[in-house]
Amino acid sequence: MTLPAAPELSLERTRDGSFTLLANALDEPYHSRHGALQESMHVFIRQGLLAHSGRDLDVLEVGLGTGLNMLLTWLQVIEGRKEVRYLALEPRPLDRDMLRSLDHPAQCGLPVLQEPFLDLMTGPEEEPIGTAVPFRFTRSRQGMEELDAEQAFDVIYHDAFGPRVQPDLWTDAIFQRSFRALRPGGHLVTYCAKGEVRRAMQRAGFRVERLPGPPGKREMLRATRPATP
């Protein structure tokens, strides 16, 4: 399904006070309407990044979107919890004005990061961008269906639009690519808990857990590539 162009996006405040974007033609928000910030923290940071025992990690995000997951990951690095190299895939990046209107750094309690965050989100593509802390960020317009990586990542944030809108990003083939891209013991986290998605992950070789979801969702999924004997 073709995603809408930027003029068809509108700003929407979610129930925790943070902002998301709504794809108007599809009535599909970029984040949960129950709370964009709460969802990202619960699914991708607590159950993804911080659930991995390693300190020095490679993270892949499928669907950079508004950059909220990246920002929250960066904050964990600033606080000294992890060191991260972060690759974000986003075929349709948002422009600086749209990103500024979301005001994510202020909603995370660090408005001083607004301009540095915007610089990361709109900087050169395909080039690692370093920060003053051990965080290196690269963004790419490459789609997940084009990624050819072998045991390159410790954590994958699978944050594409849901299967109704982007069914091609929830297939056996996509999760097979994710499985190959993860190192043994690495895991993939997503807000989606649909049965067909869980089964596609299992067919790809993952060990899949149903975990309590963020506000407004009963469950989420975490898929782990089993460690080699």
**Domains, in order of start, for the chain:** 37-224 (3.40.50.150)
CB 40 within 8 A of CB 32: no
**Model-wide pTM > 0.85:** yes
Dihedral angle computed from the Cα positions of residues 108, 152, 209 and 171, in that order, rounded to the nearest 10 degrees = 100
**Whole-angstrom distance, CA of residue 41 vs CA of residue 69:** 8
Would you write out the chain's pLDDT as a tens digit for each of its 229 residues?
A: 445 444 489 999 999 999 999 988 888 999 999 999 999 999 999 999 999 999 999 999 999 999 999 999 999 999 999 999 999 999 999 999 999 999 999 999 999 999 999 999 999 999 999 888 899 999 999 999 999 999 999 999 999 999 999 999 999 999 999 999 999 999 999 999 999 999 999 999 999 999 999 999 999 999 999 997 5
Taking each continuous run of H as one helix and of E as one strand, the counts in the chain are 7, 11
